[in-house]
Amino acid sequence: MCTFSYFSLSRRHTFLIVIPLQKQPLIGYPEHPLTTGEHIRKKRMDLGLLQREVADIIGVTESSIWNWEHGVEPELQYNPKIINFLGYVPFDCPDDTIGRLAWFKRVHGMSLERLGEAMGRDPEQLSDWLSGRHKPFRKSLEKIERFLGASMRNCDDCTRLINAYGYGAVQESDLPFLEN
């Protein structure tokens, strides 16, 4: 708030002019981002980066960043680098087991083949579970829970490595659940 006093000698009036000062929001700044692209735009604007600078960090073209910021969802393979850039996961983890498995696949940018390899399961079976065509039996659900439990601990280790050594410090060989 900025206040100016004005005193007129000729009429003996006092005026007080009050001008509220507010920071104007940036054009296109997403206050409450919903999509992955909006999260990227918000972080980019917070850091004062250009789209080409973010593209270099994530390892994509500038047009990819533009597309993501304008509603196109990134391909799965880019999610780990996007999450690393943002510093958080921009989508919620569901409570149900199959939802958490789909979330895990998305966060790690894994194909069905790679997820099947990590879990020791047939990718077609995983596809059936994740699409809802078939529901896994209780024993399979328990195995999924064990896999997710072990993997989540490894993700905590992964997060600690990133925080300790910075961007690009974590290699696939550091993640035991991805080993053959």
Task: Please give the pLDDT value at position 91.
Answer: 87
Task: Please give the pLDDT value at position 11.
Answer: 61
According to CATH, the topology of domain 97-178 is: 434 Repressor (Amino-terminal Domain) (1.10.260)
Could you give the CA distance from residue 156 to residue 145 in angstroms, rounded to a whole number?
Answer: 16
Task: Please give the pLDDT value at position 22.
Answer: 75
Task: Please give the pLDDT value at position 179.
Answer: 42
Task: Please give the pLDDT value at position 26.
Answer: 73
Span 59-105, pLDDT tens digits: 999 999 999 999 999 999 999 999 999 999 998 888 899 999 999 99
Low-confidence ranges of the chain (pLDDT < 50): 162, 165-172, 174-180
- Characterize 74-92 residue by residue with b for buried, 16 or more Cβ atoms within 10 angstroms of its Cβ, and e for exposed: beeebbbbbbbbbeeebee
Q: Start-end ranges of CATH 1.10.260.40 in the chain?
A: 2-86
Looking at the structure, give the CATH architecture of the domain made up of residues 2-86: Orthogonal Bundle (1.10)
Contact 21, 1 (CB under 8 A): yes
